[in-house]
């Protein structure tokens, strides 16, 4: 997906996903060559609006099985923050945490009826999606190594296999490119086979592994997708 000032680009979603995978393979091949010298499955069409060149992102994608357009919005509108927080909390929260989210550190997919179909948190150096301290002592958490990439701070969808997760990944790639991040990073528990398959299908490759997060999470895979070239 390419963002250029004053223009709107429409790309068949499966073609876009193939493009992301091809870009990841090219970067991996380039990295392998340098070392030798010593140095996501959704369907439908996505329209990325010219708002992507500003603070706001507004995209639409149509899933033919749903028959209604879906919007990807960032920052998250205040009217949708409650739904977004509840969906995210249902997958990643605990004991009612978090009650608040950072609208600027997230995206929502909104269906044709105005309901939140998916939510993705984003984490940067200045903070992440969930606000407030979790109901656990801070020393239990072991963060992954620092990165210049834009980190996915949890991705949750209401109904899987509707193209929602892929649309959120594509929109996050656009945000990463626009804000100067070299790529997207996902941190996925090794035993979460479904999530690992999803990210592999989106073109992510593993760049590391370790015992990050909470002690009972076990091994965590660090996955990366290069941001699209804006040139």
Measured over the CA atoms of residue 81, residue 151, residue 202 and residue 196, the dihedral's sign is: negative
Give me the pLDDT at residue 227, please. 94
Lay out the sheet containing 116-123: strands in order across: 9-12, 45-48, 57-63, 68-74, 106-110, 116-123, 150-157, 183-189, 220-226, 205-210
Q: What is the pLDDT of residues 136-165, one digit of tens each?
A: 667 677 888 999 999 999 999 999 999 999
Q: Grade residue 7 by pLDDT with cuts at 50, 70 and 90.
A: very low
* Torsion on CA atoms 199, 204, 209, 211, rounded to nearest 10: -40
Query: CB neighbours (10 Å) of residue 216?
Result: 7
As a whole number, mean pLDDT of residues 74-97 equals 87
Q: Which CATH class is domain 9-132+141-226?
A: alpha beta
As a whole number, mean pLDDT of residues 53-69 equals 48
Q: For residues 122 and 54, which has the higher predicted lDDT (pLDDT)? A: 122
Quote the DSSP letter at residue 215: G
Statement: residue 54 has pLDDT above 50? no
Q: For residues 49 and 78, which has the higher predicted lDDT (pLDDT)? A: 78
Q: For residues 28 and 77, which has the higher predicted lDDT (pLDDT)? A: 77
Q: What is the pLDDT of residues 194-221, one digit of tens each?
A: 999 999 999 999 999 999 887 787 999 9
As a whole number, mean pLDDT of residues 20-45 equals 36
């Amino acid at each position: 997906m390419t963002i250029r000032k004053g223009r709107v680009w429409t790309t068949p979603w499966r073609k876009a996903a193939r493009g992301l995978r091809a870009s990841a393979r090219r970067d991996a091949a380039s990295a392998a060559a340098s070392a030798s010298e010593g140095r996501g499955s959704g369907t439908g069409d996505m329209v990325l609006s010219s708002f992507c060149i500003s603070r706001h992102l507004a995209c639409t994608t149509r899933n033919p099985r749903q028959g209604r357009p879906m919007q990807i919005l960032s920052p998250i509108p205040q009217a949708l923050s409650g739904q977004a927080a509840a969906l995210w909390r249902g997958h990643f929260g605990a004991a009612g945490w978090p009650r608040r989210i950072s609208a600027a550190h997230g995206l929502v997919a909104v269906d044709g009826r105005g309901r939140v179909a998916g939510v993705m948190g984003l984490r940067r150096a200045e903070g992440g999606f969930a606000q407030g301290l979790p109901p656990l002592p801070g020393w239990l958490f072991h963060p992954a190594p620092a990165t210049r990439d834009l980190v996915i701070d949890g991705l949750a969808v209401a109904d899987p296999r509707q193209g929602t997760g892929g649309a959120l990944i594509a929109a996050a790639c656009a945000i990463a490119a626009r804000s100067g991040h070299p790529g997207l990073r996902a941190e996925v528990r090794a035993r979460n086979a479904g999530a690992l398959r999803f990210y592999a299908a989106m073109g992510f490759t593993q760049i590391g592994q370790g015992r990050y997060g909470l002690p009972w999470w076990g091994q965590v895979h660090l996955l990366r997708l290069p941001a699209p070239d804006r040139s």
